[in-house]
Structure 1
């Protein structure tokens, strides 16, 4: 690495969000980007993490590393999800503090909010109700991450911040046919249906459930924006005990509308059959992003444009995805 600018460590740089943050930072010339492959740095190893921070003069940390998965994985491995995420967070945040890193951004998830939170979900809904049982261990770990950042700020005067994204999609998403989220799963199924000449594709649920989707490149822009917010602006829009910031578009669509948009992008001209015997899930999940937009940030990528870009990435990486 050269001697220019600050050293920025992106933990989880191979994941969808981490890789997008790296792409965003690479557009600039005032930062040296530090990453570490899993075989080089095991974030579950406390001693290794502390040594890594001690060996590198790190100025900022984007904590995008996490153990993630769908409903099946969360139900099957709840102990792994709560343990691994708690340990990763504790290791990185403590090592950052011990080596004098003053700025850290923790990436959470909208699942931190109660199952029956009012819509759109505001930051102050945190810890006001029961969590969704299927991913409660993961959500509790993420809540702990927020509170760790707040606690280090209170006790040590650090500037550790947290962002809570809505449903993300884009390059490096998980397109696995069984355990991916609704958007990449539908994209893959519609692509395969088109390739095989199928007359129809079945979509679970009535299609009336509403979801919000944010392109991961917009998430990366928001992450850098929040990391670099002036302290006065940040303090004026948050509280010491409610410091996390929602990130989303503030707009949602029905699953039917999503499926129709994907069909247009992919060129699937068959029929979309909605299986009402299958569950819709939560009727609506929409983030209140007024706190972030009041500070001057807006998303840039419209949904259909983002779908088109993501589908192009999918087509270019099919061999990797099959492996």
Structure 2
């Protein structure tokens, strides 16, 4: 396959990376000339600059999809702020810098909606970046992800590369992290309500006031969106990201309060008891809804509704929860 395209997917075992890899494998199976390149963490430590540069130089991928990151919920971000900023800065600098050093001109990196200011106007548009203070509970992680965007922008400006960034809203789905302390809100709720329903617990208490609103996107929709942006011709991408050739938001366009989300998870898991809120716990940002008009203007739409997606995720959890961490 002389015309084949070799794509390195960094973070292919994570929730998002594995969903992207599944879609690419499906395309390859359908006859698209793709060579898919992966490495586990044990095989390649992305925080090791020399190891990453040697890997890129040896394999010479045509394109890179950077889905590797250290991620977690409010508790994890608040407990391990140094780990979150250090690991993510190193991963991004090494992969993006290593790709450029190896002559890779196409790259897509995945960020996070936490890059936007705490008080950003809703829904949050791409040009809200760096217009105000960040949410304190995850500021170190957010600063790392902002640095990744700016590194891609700067590579494009100085070296003429085509390095793109997509900023997803809160993601969930098969392969999520269900750790009792370090997970994001939706998998944490699934685990807690499943356990309460199984054990006959009468009351579940959720963090915060229950009033903050969050947007959620199923990981399979995110994988579709990531590859949609990855496949755009450079002129189309440039039209939507001028003047900085920067980033594009990805989301569902709808949000839900944490209390409403808890009620939905309770219904799906079979929990029939009381749900209480603990306002002594942090709420985080009160609302985080993405403006996805740039992406929808290009023709992309989400395809998996929240209730359908939570049911799908819960079914996956039931099949795998015995081996999940924590």
CA–CA distance in structure 1, aligned partners of residues 54 and 283 of structure 2: 47
Q: How does 1:298-313 map to 2 (within 5 A)?
A: 298-313=301-316
Which position in structure 1 is the counterpart of 2:161? 158
The equivalent of 1:12 in structure 2 is: 11
Long gaps (5+) in structure 1 = none
Q: CA distance change for structure 1 residues 235 and 80 in 2, over 3 Å: closer, same or farther? A: same
Q: Do 2:165 and 2:248's aligned partners in 1 also have CA atoms closer than 8 Å?
A: yes
Q: Which residue in 2 is equivalent to 1:257?
A: 260
Q: CA separation of 1:236/1:322 partners in 2, compared to 1, >3 Å: closer, same or farther?
A: closer
Partner of residue 282, structure 1: 285
Choose the corresponding residue for 1:95, options 89, 94, 98: 98
- Greater displacement, 235-244 / 249-258: 235-244
| Residues 257 and 71 (structure 1), Cα distance of their counterparts in 2 relative to 1, 3 Å cut | closer
Counterpart Cα distance in 1 of 2:311 and 2:97: 41
Once the two structures are superposed, what CA deviation does each residue of 1:183-212 show, in whole Å capped at 9, x if it has no partner? 111111110011111223222333222110
Pairwise CA distance, 1:102: 1.4
Match of 2:186 in 1: 183
Determine if the alignment matches structure 1 residue 24 to structure 2 residue 29: no
The TM-score normalised by the length of structure 1 is 0.95
- CA-based RMSD: 1.6
For structure 2, list consecutive stretches of 5 or more residues without a partner in the other structure.
none
Q: Which residue matches 1:168?
A: 171
In the aligned structure 2, how far is the partner of 1:140 from the partner of 1:77? 14
SS of the equivalent of 1:319 reads: helix
1:14-38 per-residue CA deviation (whole Å, 9 max, x = no partner) reads: 1111111111111102222111011
Secondary structure at the counterpart of residue 27 of structure 1: helix
1:255: Cα distance to partner? 1.5
What displacement does 1:3 show?
Answer: 6.7
State the alpha-carbon separation in 2 of the partners of residues 134 and 212 from structure 1.
18
Deviation for aligned residue 1:39: 1.3
Q: What displacement does 1:129 show?
A: 0.6
Contact 1:10/1:61 (8 A) holds in 2: yes
d(CA) in 2 for partners of 1:8 and 1:62? Answer: 7
Tell me how far apart the structure 2 counterparts of residues 177 and 86 of structure 1 sit (CA, whole Å): 26
Q: Does residue 59 of structure 2 align to residue 56 of structure 1? A: yes
How far, CA to CA, are the matches of 2:145 and 2:16 in structure 1?
16
In structure 2, the partner of 1:76 is 79
1:320 to 314, 319, 323: 323
Query: Please, what TM-score do these two structures have when normalized by structure 2?
Result: 0.94
Choose from 231, 234, 237 the match for 2:237: 234
Aligned residues: 322
2:178–2:325 Cα contact (<8 Å) kept: no
Deviation readout 1:243-269 (Å, 9 max, x if unpaired): 100100110011122112112221222
